[in-house]
Chain A
């Protein structure tokens, strides 16, 4: 009994932590004249809150759902909040990543102008708090309020450096897509509610929609959350907004905010709509595969590091959607065990992506701060100036390339394992489509490897391609602490997947009522077995040991064999004595084969110099054709329509008077 009193419910703790975050943000505004107070006190406190949130979330996964009604909101329309296993998992994700980014921010934002810093601190903490509230909202009303607060806070964060027009433009695009998405979600809730009952999630769960209405609700939710997640073709805001935002914010947006969209999709489709149909799953699967392939292809063609990471986020969201799509196909076909595995794979990948993409964005921020460079083509040799950053960045790069024993491998491997269950499906069309999606996923994985070989090789290895005024400096202690925290996450999530799977299994059990097979769960902590031991199993720890043994043996063998036979000499210059640093392989050059192979998917503009040009320059830009195929026509139509309406504005007072006169007469005739 005493325990009950002393331990608050998870939901109370989470609400308190969100309020503390908002309080920290407001406090930052109050201490606008003390920027050191903001960086040295408020951001570390925010990090502490994040850590507590992660722990609370982790604890809530196994606990029964806890609910509360907040004493806020409109009269007769109170805010309902609820923390269940799914919320707990995403709260853990949010807290874990936010801990790293807040630590990083402690160091990163030092030296910023005080007023801008205070506003940034406010928006940053409001952003975190609103994401928390999105994850615990238990009625559509609070959900939408928090969702919009999240969008607005992140909009202001994207436009932190609003003096540059490019950033304002990026913020505008982001805001437009965010609102298209919000509109979809709002309509989805409207369809779910169906004109009866109230808007609490409990009421929506029991709506019992007909097939057509349920499909409509699903499509609206998919559109709405897909826009926020960066699904094709609504991904265009990502490569604009992420480079514009300060790096810790990009890390949060890419790592966590995209995951709130995944959370929303899972919450609405699995929990609120229920009765999943396999056709929906097929749609999600196909869109997810296309998103993944497209995202990585554009990442390969990109030379702006943060834009590249943004496109890579598009790709990873594609993989998560692939997992969700597979899970929905299986659940809709009456195979809940395989469906649970798909959901586990998707959620695991969401967590992994949050951790390593957070790490990579923080690394990009560290590079940007110490070199002021954002273009890969100008970097190079950073490993000598920033050795510690180079190590943590390498871990992130290996993780995102899905190399064992790191975390990226586990979730992608699980996704493959799900697609291998396709033989259980009854429909032959779906049975043949699922392997194609898996093949696309494999291609995506290989291309990701290539993409990040490019990133790491060009940025950290080789020689500097641009002589900077002062040598780049290693990231500061706080920045490293934030990155190391996420690095540890990458390693632990990769080495001990069984524990994560156990937690995710609890999420699945509470959400769809079924989990992994008993055989899979009985495999013990060392071996990860998704379905049955006879089919597939993976032990990262043994893998790691094997790698270490092979590495050690090779290292010792080489040392022994080549002892004393080393000689240092200049490499052969191919008979061309004048070699400059600019002759190194560049990011654009590295992606050239891919651009050649997938040329129809890009919109490439080349400017080839004439043969007799004395100072030849080769220019090439790669553009996203979605702008031209989808967005330009819409923009043109909008401009045309507003031009037509604009004709009403004649400038002649007589005409304006005539408008009111005609209106008056028409109304009089009408009401007579």
Chain B
């Protein structure tokens, strides 16, 4: 293994991302979940900066800045405020227990690598080997959304999925065009705000944030 330093940093970041994704999958405390999400954002910023520095893609600096402001600071701050106001700390036991969830997660990671292998061969970016990890992050975030029962942890799962997509974009194609990225950032921000409003409404209606109460919303 004689990779240049920036490639090693990117690979390290990718490994950390995957680790954090697994950690989020197992974490039951919502406060820690938000911190993990914030940490994932930070790792993303570092890897984006490395790619930007190594390839001299100036627009990636802006992306990194945007990620830093939005995902490391603003969104976690909003969510911390939310859970303080809503007074939710714990997610209840989900459909699957943690070991089973982890096993499924491992299967998904293998599948993601299997999926990404042929695509990475065509990519000539410096971060091509990380595409599999990015895909795995998306799957794991999705899995988290499925297994959680509190609305807020589902939103975190949704945002983590966006992290995975962003990482996939930087690693495979040096990031999306700036316009698209700005659009997505705005969407995520507005989405979180709207979710926040909805949380209040859901709690007002059902006296709880447990989405299990929404099961009544069907025809029969």
Are A and B physically bound partners? yes
Measured CB to CB, the residues of A under 8 A from B are: 646, 649-654, 657-658, 661, 664-665, 668, 672
CB of B71 within 8 Å of the partner chain: no
Question: Bound state CA distance, A665 and B104, in angstroms?
Answer: 13
- Please tell me if the beta carbons of A661 and B115 are within 8 angstroms of each other in the complex: no
- Please tell me if the beta carbons of B142 and A668 are within 8 angstroms of each other in the complex: no
Q: Identify the stretch in B5-13, B61-69, B210-218 within 8 Å (CB) of chain A at 4 or more residues.
A: B210-218
Contacts of A665 in B (CB 8 A): 111, 139
Which B residues, 109 to 150, have Cβ-Cβ distances below 8 Å to chain A? Answer: 111, 114-115, 118, 139, 142-143, 145-149
Instruction: Summarize B's interface: helix, strand, loop or mixed.
Output: helix
Which B residues, 180 to 220, have Cβ-Cβ distances below 8 Å to chain A? Answer: 211-212, 214-220
- Please tell me if the beta carbons of B95 and A654 are within 8 angstroms of each other in the complex: yes
Question: Looking at the complex, which one of A649, A650, A654, A672 makes contact with B146 (CB distance below 8 Å)?
Answer: A654
- Please tell me if the beta carbons of A661 and B147 are within 8 angstroms of each other in the complex: no
Contacts of B216 in A (CB 8 A): 651
- How many whole Å from A672's CB to the nearest CB in chain B? 6
Question: Looking at the complex, which one of B114, B115, B146 makes contact with A657 (CB distance below 8 Å)?
Answer: B146
A selection of 14 A-B contacts at a CB cut-off of 8 Å is: A651-B215, A651-B218, A652-B214, A652-B215, A653-B154, A653-B211, A654-B146, A654-B148, A654-B211, A657-B145, A657-B146, A665-B111, A665-B139, A672-B114
Question: Bound state CA distance, A650 and B217, in angstroms?
Answer: 9
Interface size in chain B (residues, C-beta < 8 A): 23
Question: Bound state CA distance, A376 and B48, in angstroms?
Answer: 86
- Please tell me if the beta carbons of A668 and B146 are within 8 angstroms of each other in the complex: no
- Please tell me if the beta carbons of A649 and B218 are within 8 angstroms of each other in the complex: yes
Contacts of B149 in A (CB 8 A): 654
- How many whole Å from B111's CB to the nearest CB in chain A? 7
- Please tell me if the beta carbons of A668 and B115 are within 8 angstroms of each other in the complex: yes
Which B residues, 150 to 173, have Cβ-Cβ distances below 8 Å to chain A? Answer: 154
Question: Bound state CA distance, A658 and B146, in angstroms?
Answer: 6
Contacts of B217 in A (CB 8 A): 651
- Please tell me if the beta carbons of B142 and A661 are within 8 angstroms of each other in the complex: yes
Measured CB to CB, the residues of B under 8 A from A are: 95, 111, 114-115, 118, 139, 142-143, 145-149, 154, 211-212, 214-220
Contacts of A668 in B (CB 8 A): 111, 115
Most buried by B among A649, A657, A664: A657
Question: Looking at the complex, which one of A646, A652, A658, A664 makes contact with B219 (CB distance below 8 Å)?
Answer: A646
- How many whole Å from B153's CB to the nearest CB in chain A? 11
- Please tell me if the beta carbons of B146 and A661 are within 8 angstroms of each other in the complex: yes
- How many whole Å from A639's CB to the nearest CB in chain B? 12
- How many whole Å from B17's CB to the nearest CB in chain A? 20
In the complex, the chain B residue whose C-beta lies closest to that of A657 is B146
Question: Bound state CA distance, A621 and B38, in angstroms?
Answer: 74
Contacts of B139 in A (CB 8 A): 665
Contacts of A646 in B (CB 8 A): 219-220
Contacts of A651 in B (CB 8 A): 214-218
- How many whole Å from A114's CB to the nearest CB in chain B? 39
In the complex, the chain A residue whose C-beta lies closest to that of B95 is A654
Contacts of A649 in B (CB 8 A): 218-219
- Please tell me if the beta carbons of A654 and B147 are within 8 angstroms of each other in the complex: yes
In the complex, the chain B residue whose C-beta lies closest to that of A660 is B142
Question: Bound state CA distance, A664 and B112, in angstroms?
Answer: 12
In the complex, the chain B residue whose C-beta lies closest to that of A656 is B146
Contacts of A658 in B (CB 8 A): 146
Contacts of B111 in A (CB 8 A): 665, 668
Given contacts A665-B111, A668-B115, contact A657 B214 (CB under 8 A): no
Question: Bound state CA distance, A310 and B118, in angstroms?
Answer: 69
Contacts of B220 in A (CB 8 A): 646
Question: Bound state CA distance, A278 and B39, in angstroms?
Answer: 83
Question: Bound state CA distance, A208 and B164, in angstroms?
Answer: 61
- Please tell me if the beta carbons of A650 and B154 are within 8 angstroms of each other in the complex: no
Contacts of A664 in B (CB 8 A): 142
In the complex, the chain B residue whose C-beta lies closest to that of A650 is B218
Contacts of B218 in A (CB 8 A): 649-651
Contacts of A652 in B (CB 8 A): 211-212, 214-215
Contacts of B142 in A (CB 8 A): 657, 661, 664
Question: Bound state CA distance, A661 and B212, in angstroms?
Answer: 19
Question: Bound state CA distance, A646 and B218, in angstroms?
Answer: 9
- Please tell me if the beta carbons of A672 and B95 are within 8 angstroms of each other in the complex: no
Most buried by B among A652, A654, A661: A654
